[in-house]
Structure 1
Amino acid sequence: MDFTNSSCGESDHRQIEENKPLLGEMSAPEGGKMGAVPCRRAVVHFNGMRYKLLQEGDIQVCVIRHPRTFLSKILTSKFLRRWEPHHLTLADNSLTSATPTGYMEDSMPYSAIEDVQLLSWENAPKYCLQLTFPGGTVLLQAANSYLRDQWFHSLQWKKKIYKYKKVLSNPNRWEVVLKEIRSLVDMALTSPLQDDSIHQAPLEIVSKLLSESINLTTQEHESIIVAIAPLLENNHPPPDLCEFFCKHCRERPRSMVVIEVFTPVVQRILKHNMDFGKCPRLRLFTQEYILALNELNAGMEVVKKFIHSMHGPTANCPHPRVLPNLVAVCLAAIYSCYEEFINSRDNSPSLKEIRNGCQQQCDRKPNIPLRLLHTNPDLVSQEVTSADSRHKTVIVTSNEVHVEVERNNTVNQKLKANTGNDSEPNLIDCLLISPACSTMSIELSPQAERVLECYVEILKILSDYDDWRPALASLLQPIPFPKEALAHETFTKELKYVIQRFAEDPRQEVHSCLLSVRAGKDGWFQLYSPGGVACDDDGELFASMVRVCNNVHILMGSCYKTKKFLLSLAENKLGPCMLLALRGNQTMVEILCLMLEYNIIENNDTQLQIISTLESTDVGKRMYEQLCDRQRELKELVSGLSFQSVYNGGT
Structure 2
Amino acid sequence: MTDVAKKKIYKYKKVLSNPSRWEVVLKEIRTLVDMALTSPLQDDSINQAPLEIVSKLLSENTNLTTQEHENIIVAIAPLLENNHPPPDLCEFFCKHCRERPRSMVVIEVFTPVVQRILKHNMDFGKCPRLRLFTQEYILALNELNAGMEVVKKFIQSMHGPTGHCPHPRVLPNLVAVCLAAIYSCYEEFINSRDNSPSLKEIRNGCQQPCDRKPTLPLRLLHPSPDLVSQEATLSEARLKSVVVASSEIHVEVEHTSTAKPALTASAGNDSEPNLIDCLMVSPACSTMSIELGPQADRTLGCYVEILKLLSDYDDWRPSLASLLQPIPFPKEALAHEKFTKELKYVIQRFAEDPRQEVHSCLLSVRAGKDGWFQLYSPGGVACDDDGELFASMVHILMGSCYKTKKFLLSLAENKLGPCMLLALRGNQTMVEILCLMLEYNIIDNNDTQLQIISTLESTGVGKRMYEQLCDRQRELKELQRKGGPTRLTLPSKSTDADLARLLSSGSFGNLENLSLAFTNVTSACAEHLIKLPSLKQLNLWSTQFGDAGLRLLSEHLSPFPPVPSLTETLHLWPPSHPPVPVVSSCMRLPAWSREESETSPPPA
The answer, yes or no, to whether TM exceeds 0.5 is yes
In structure 2, relative to structure 1, the CA distance for the partners of 1:644 and 1:442 (3 Å cut) is closer
In structure 2, relative to structure 1, the CA distance for the partners of 1:435 and 1:529 (3 Å cut) is closer
Alignment RMSD, CA only? 2.9
Residue correspondence of structure 1 range 163-312 to structure 2 within 5 A: 163-312=11-160
Identify the range of structure 1 (585-594 vs 462-471) with the bigger mean alpha-carbon deviation.
585-594
Residue 507 in structure 1 maps to residue 355 in structure 2 = yes
In structure 2, relative to structure 1, the CA distance for the partners of 1:571 and 1:641 (3 Å cut) is same
Aligned to 1:124: none
Residue 620 in structure 1 maps to residue 462 in structure 2 = yes
| Contact 1:233/1:265 (8 A) holds in 2 | yes
- Amino acid in structure 1 at the alignment position of 2:175: V
- Amino acid in structure 2 at the alignment position of 1:438: S
* Structure 1 CA distance for aligned equivalents of residues 194 and 314 of structure 2: 44
* Structure 2 CA distance for aligned equivalents of residues 437 and 248 of structure 1: 46
Aligned to 2:432: 590
In structure 2, relative to structure 1, the CA distance for the partners of 1:378 and 1:613 (3 Å cut) is farther
* Structure 2 CA distance for aligned equivalents of residues 498 and 324 of structure 1: 16
| Contact 1:354/1:434 (8 A) holds in 2 | no
Residue 480 in structure 1 maps to residue 322 in structure 2 = no
* Structure 2 CA distance for aligned equivalents of residues 158 and 478 of structure 1: 50
Identify the range of structure 1 (349-358 vs 516-525) with the bigger mean alpha-carbon deviation.
349-358
SS in structure 2 opposite 1:316? Answer: coil
| Contact 2:102/2:143 (8 A) holds in 1 | yes
Taking structure 1 as the reference length, the TM-score comes to 0.65
Residue correspondence of structure 1 range 49-60 to structure 2 within 5 A: 53=1
In structure 2, relative to structure 1, the CA distance for the partners of 1:632 and 1:177 (3 Å cut) is same
Match of 1:461 among 309, 319, 325: 309
Alpha-carbon shift at residue 434 of structure 1 (Å): 11
| Contact 1:582/1:614 (8 A) holds in 2 | yes
Alpha-carbon shift at residue 605 of structure 1 (Å): 1.1
Residue correspondence of structure 1 range 119-138 to structure 2 within 5 A: none
Deviations 1:516-546 (A, max 9, x none): 1111211111111111111111110010001
Match of 2:475 among 633, 637, 646: 633
Alpha-carbon shift at residue 465 of structure 1 (Å): 0.1
Unaligned runs of 5+ in 1: 1-52, 54-153, 365-376, 388-411
* Structure 2 CA distance for aligned equivalents of residues 351 and 625 of structure 1: 47
SS in structure 1 opposite 2:481? Answer: helix
Aligned to 1:602: 444
In structure 2, relative to structure 1, the CA distance for the partners of 1:599 and 1:420 (3 Å cut) is farther
- Amino acid in structure 2 at the alignment position of 1:613: T
SS in structure 2 opposite 1:334? Answer: helix
In structure 2, relative to structure 1, the CA distance for the partners of 1:330 and 1:168 (3 Å cut) is same
Alpha-carbon shift at residue 299 of structure 1 (Å): 1.0
* Structure 1 CA distance for aligned equivalents of residues 185 and 297 of structure 2: 7
Aligned to 2:389: 541
| Contact 1:355/1:424 (8 A) holds in 2 | no
Identify the range of structure 1 (205-214 vs 430-439) with the bigger mean alpha-carbon deviation.
430-439
Aligned to 1:38: none
- Amino acid in structure 2 at the alignment position of 1:250: R
- Amino acid in structure 2 at the alignment position of 1:563: K
| Contact 2:281/2:381 (8 A) holds in 1 | no
* Structure 2 CA distance for aligned equivalents of residues 424 and 230 of structure 1: 52
| Contact 2:435/2:469 (8 A) holds in 1 | yes
| Contact 2:205/2:285 (8 A) holds in 1 | no
| Contact 1:514/1:525 (8 A) holds in 2 | yes
| Contact 2:200/2:267 (8 A) holds in 1 | no
In structure 2, relative to structure 1, the CA distance for the partners of 1:214 and 1:632 (3 Å cut) is same
Alpha-carbon shift at residue 342 of structure 1 (Å): 3.1
Aligned to 1:394: none
| Contact 2:310/2:316 (8 A) holds in 1 | yes
In structure 2, relative to structure 1, the CA distance for the partners of 1:444 and 1:645 (3 Å cut) is closer
SS in structure 2 opposite 1:284? Answer: helix
* Structure 2 CA distance for aligned equivalents of residues 222 and 282 of structure 1: 19
Taking structure 2 as the reference length, the TM-score comes to 0.69
Identify the range of structure 1 (564-573 vs 431-440) with the bigger mean alpha-carbon deviation.
431-440
Identify the range of structure 1 (622-631 vs 424-433) with the bigger mean alpha-carbon deviation.
424-433
| Contact 1:341/1:444 (8 A) holds in 2 | no
| Contact 2:258/2:285 (8 A) holds in 1 | no
* Structure 2 CA distance for aligned equivalents of residues 310 and 437 of structure 1: 44
In structure 2, relative to structure 1, the CA distance for the partners of 1:646 and 1:160 (3 Å cut) is closer
* Structure 1 CA distance for aligned equivalents of residues 273 and 256 of structure 2: 26
SS in structure 1 opposite 2:367? Answer: coil
SS in structure 2 opposite 1:236? Answer: coil
Residue correspondence of structure 1 range 19-168 to structure 2 within 5 A: 53=1, 154-168=2-16
Q: Which has the higher contact order (CA 8 A, sep 6+)?
A: 1
- Amino acid in structure 2 at the alignment position of 1:205: I
SS in structure 2 opposite 1:194? Answer: coil
Aligned to 2:408: 566
- Amino acid in structure 2 at the alignment position of 1:161: I
* Structure 2 CA distance for aligned equivalents of residues 257 and 379 of structure 1: 57
Alpha-carbon shift at residue 353 of structure 1 (Å): 4.8
Q: Identity across aligned pairs (percent)?
A: 87
SS in structure 1 opposite 2:458? Answer: coil
SS in structure 2 opposite 1:442? Answer: strand
Unaligned runs of 5+ in 2: 209-233, 236-254, 485-506, 512-604
In structure 2, relative to structure 1, the CA distance for the partners of 1:581 and 1:437 (3 Å cut) is closer
SS in structure 1 opposite 2:64? Answer: coil
SS in structure 1 opposite 2:422? Answer: helix
Match of 2:275 among 420, 427, 433: 427
* Structure 1 CA distance for aligned equivalents of residues 267 and 100 of structure 2: 55
SS in structure 2 opposite 1:276? Answer: coil
Deviations 1:137-172 (A, max 9, x none): xxxxxxxxxxxxxxxxx1210001111111111111
* Structure 1 CA distance for aligned equivalents of residues 338 and 281 of structure 2: 21
* Structure 1 CA distance for aligned equivalents of residues 257 and 83 of structure 2: 63
Aligned to 1:103: none
* Structure 1 CA distance for aligned equivalents of residues 436 and 111 of structure 2: 54
Q: How many aligned residue pairs are there?
A: 445
Residue correspondence of structure 1 range 513-524 to structure 2 within 5 A: 513-524=361-372
In structure 2, relative to structure 1, the CA distance for the partners of 1:616 and 1:522 (3 Å cut) is same
- Amino acid in structure 2 at the alignment position of 1:601: I
Alpha-carbon shift at residue 325 of structure 1 (Å): 0.4
Alpha-carbon shift at residue 551 of structure 1 (Å): 2.1
Aligned to 1:575: 417
Deviations 1:482-529 (A, max 9, x none): 111111111111111001100111101111000111112111111111
* Structure 1 CA distance for aligned equivalents of residues 84 and 193 of structure 2: 37
Residue correspondence of structure 1 range 640-651 to structure 2 within 5 A: 641-642=483-484
Deviations 1:266-308 (A, max 9, x none): 0000001111111111001000100111111111111111101
